[in-house]
Amino acid sequence: MGEITVRAEDMDRLLKDSSSSYSAPYQRAFGEIALSHRGRDAAEIVPLLRAAADAAFLGFTGTDLAEQAEAISAGRPYVLRVTVR
């Protein structure tokens, strides 16, 4: 399980929000990568997740991204604990 802290005003960078004009939420990118890269090597997935996290200005650690990539590769759910400040 990963953890991230996000400011309340930046939640649309993490989660899709139909009322927001922000067009690159991490949730959307993660879902697209999960659909297109299931079963692929995690090392191939990490850079894609890093690019998505950077585009959304989210500070995931390398360990978090590796865990997410492993979950995508294996087709397992990934649990992320979000703290909103």
Over the stretch 4-57, which tens digit does the pLDDT of each residue have? 999 999 898 998 877 777 778 999 999 999 999 999 999 999 999 999 999 999
What is the per-residue pLDDT for 24? Answer: 81
Its sign, for the CA torsion 81, 12, 32, 59, is: negative
Structure tokens at 22: 């922000």
Q: Is the pTM of this model over 0.95?
A: no
Sequence spans of domains, the chain: 1-10+41-85
